[in-house]
Structure formats: structure tokens, C-alpha cells
């Protein structure tokens, strides 16, 4: 009996099956690694020092002050706020800002409030402390502020500086000239007269800058005697004299003298020219 052999077909698994198996193994390995090491599920907090961001250094505060900053640590337990008068006398001079400590970390935000109305006006320091679980702590740098609840601090007045022109020559501000007071003129009525004459005035000159004013009196001529009057309604010699001042009489006399001398000079010149012409006529006549 003769046996005949038939070829046996061999079936190889598909390539996609190996790929799916490999991906399944990788996923299971990642899950197992994450479950066995919890620290890899979230990043660790960095060990950064506590910081006060607000209020700023040398800021002027009043009322309830909001303290903003950062208070974090990998071994965080709580953080606390303190204040003290400035300058700091000692490390034991810091006063706790209550009523309680804060047991939640603050990456960057409101740390707490400080009622500055409970202390007198002046300069103070603020400090942030982060306490670890083992009892050790970290302190921030002191932040200096000025409390001004009653009176605001004086603001220095800037001094005026001369402006510089493009040519480089400084220009000074113009100086204001003092304003002079006007001269007061007071009318004075002489005794025995019903109305003051036009020439009788008392001039008071006030000088700038104070001082006693010095009156300057302009005198007038008095009639001395009433004199004889003419008909009713006429003007007497005394009335004319009262209307004239010494300066007016002097100037009138000068003008009269000048006119008189000029008239005599013209008359003399006329007669001199006439005599000269007569003499010349007799000389040239045959």
C-alpha cells in the first residue's frame, strides 16, 4: 500500500495582532507605574521663600490694608502675618496679626488684612512667615510702610528750575513788579470860605512797601481884605487873587517881561535902521 503525502497549509498570525498586543502591554505598564508611584501624578511644589507683593515698599497706607503675596512650601503647615514699629527693635518685637493663622497655601493672592487704625500713625514693618510640618519656618523680607490715618504726609514742593532754550541759554521766570498804590488827592476847605477854591488841594503820596505818607500842600493866595466891590454881581480883586496861585503869577510876570523887552528891541531896531538910512541918504545925495 502506497501512501501519498499532501502538502499541509501553514497559517501565520496577522501583523496587526502583534501591534495591538504591544500597545496593550505599554498601557498596562504605564497604569501600574502611576499607581505604584503617586508622586508622578502631580508635580512637586517648589521650595520658594515667602514674599509680600503688596503693599509696596515705603507705601502710604490707611484703614484696612490688604496684604498680597505668596506662601507655599512642599512641607507646608500654615502661614502667619506680623507687624512691628519701624525700625525693628529685635526679632521678638514682631506682633502677630490675628485672630488665627492660615492653613491653606497661597500661590499668589490675598494673604490677609491688617487694620492700621488700631495703631498710631507712623512707620511700620510687615512680615510673612511660612511654618513647615516639622516646626521650622521661613520669614519673608520686612516690608516698610507708613500709616497715615489722621494726617497725610507732607508732600515736598518741587523747586522751580530755569527752562533751557534750544540755544542752551537758561531763561529765568519774569519777576513780578510791586503794584503801586494810587495817589490820593484830598480837597481842603480854608477857614472863612464856603467852597474850597480850585487851587487849594492836599496831595498825599503813598509809597510802596508801607511807611508814613508825606502830605504835599499846594498853597493859594488869600485876599487879605475883602476890598471895595463894584456893582452887584461884579468880581472883586480879592476873588481874582484867590483864583491865582504863585506859580501862575510868576509865569505870567515872566511872559510879560519877555514881551516888553521884545517890544523895546523891535522899536530900537526900527529907529536904528531909520537913522542908518537917513545918514546914508545924506552921504550919497549930491
pTM for the complete prediction?
0.40
Cα separation, 201 vs 207, whole angstroms: 19
Average pLDDT, the chain: 73
DSSP 1-68: --PPP-PPP--PPPHHHHHHHHHHHHHHHHHHHHHH-GGGGSPPPP----EEEESPTTEEE-SEEEEE
The confidence band for 5, taking pLDDT boundaries of 50, 70 and 90, is: low
Average pLDDT of the segment spanning 162-170 = 55
List, in order of start, the domains of the chain with CATH numbers: 51-147 (2.60.40.10)
Over pLDDT 90: what percentage of the chain? Answer: 31
The confidence band for 173, taking pLDDT boundaries of 50, 70 and 90, is: low
- Which of the pair, 150 or 44, is modelled with greater confidence? 150
Query: Which one, of 149, 87, 152, lies nearest residue 116 by Cα?
Result: 149
Amino acid at each position: 500500500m502506497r501512501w501519498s503525502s499532501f502538502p499541509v497549509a501553514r497559517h501565520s498570525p496577522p501583523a496587526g495582532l502583534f501591534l495591538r498586543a504591544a500597545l496593550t502591554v505599554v498601557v498596562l505598564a504605564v497604569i501600574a507605574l502611576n499607581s505604584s508611584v503617586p508622586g508622578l501624578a502631580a508635580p512637586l511644589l517648589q521650595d520658594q521663600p515667602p514674599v509680600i507683593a503688596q503693599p509696596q515698599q515705603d507705601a502710604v497706607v490707611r484703614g484696612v490694608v490688604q496684604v498680597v503675596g505668596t506662601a507655599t512650601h512642599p512641607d507646608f503647615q500654615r502661614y502667619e502675618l506680623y507687624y512691628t514699629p519701624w525700625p525693628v527693635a529685635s526679632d521678638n518685637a514682631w506682633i502677630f496679626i490675628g485672630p488665627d493663622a492660615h492653613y491653606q497655601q497661597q500661590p499668589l493672592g490675598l494673604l490677609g488684612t491688617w487694620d492700621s487704625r488700631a495703631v498710631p500713625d507712623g512707620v511700620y514693618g510687615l512680615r510673612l512667615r511660612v511654618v513647615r510640618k516639622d516646626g521650622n519656618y521661613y520669614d519673608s523680607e520686612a516690608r516698610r510702610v507708613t500709616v497715615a490715618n489722621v494726617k497725610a504726609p507732607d508732600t515736598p514742593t518741587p523747586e522751580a528750575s530755569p527752562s533751557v532754550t534750544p540755544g542752551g541759554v537758561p531763561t529765568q521766570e519774569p519777576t513780578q513788579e510791586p503794584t503801586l498804590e494810587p495817589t490820593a488827592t484830598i480837597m481842603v476847605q480854608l477857614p472863612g470860605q464856603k467852597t474850597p477854591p480850585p487851587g487849594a488841594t492836599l496831595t498825599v503820596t503813598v509809597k510802596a512797601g508801607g511807611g508814613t505818607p508825606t502830605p504835599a500842600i499846594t498853597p493859594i493866595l488869600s485876599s487879605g481884605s475883602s476890598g471895595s466891590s463894584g456893582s452887584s454881581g461884579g468880581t472883586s480883586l480879592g476873588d481874582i487873587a484867590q483864583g491865582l496861585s504863585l506859580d501862575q503869577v510868576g509865569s505870567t510876570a515872566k511872559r510879560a517881561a519877555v514881551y516888553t523887552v521884545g517890544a523895546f528891541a523891535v522899536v530900537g531896531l526900527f529907529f536904528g535902521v531909520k537913522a542908518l538910512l537917513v545918514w546914508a541918504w545924506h552921504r550919497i545925495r549930491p
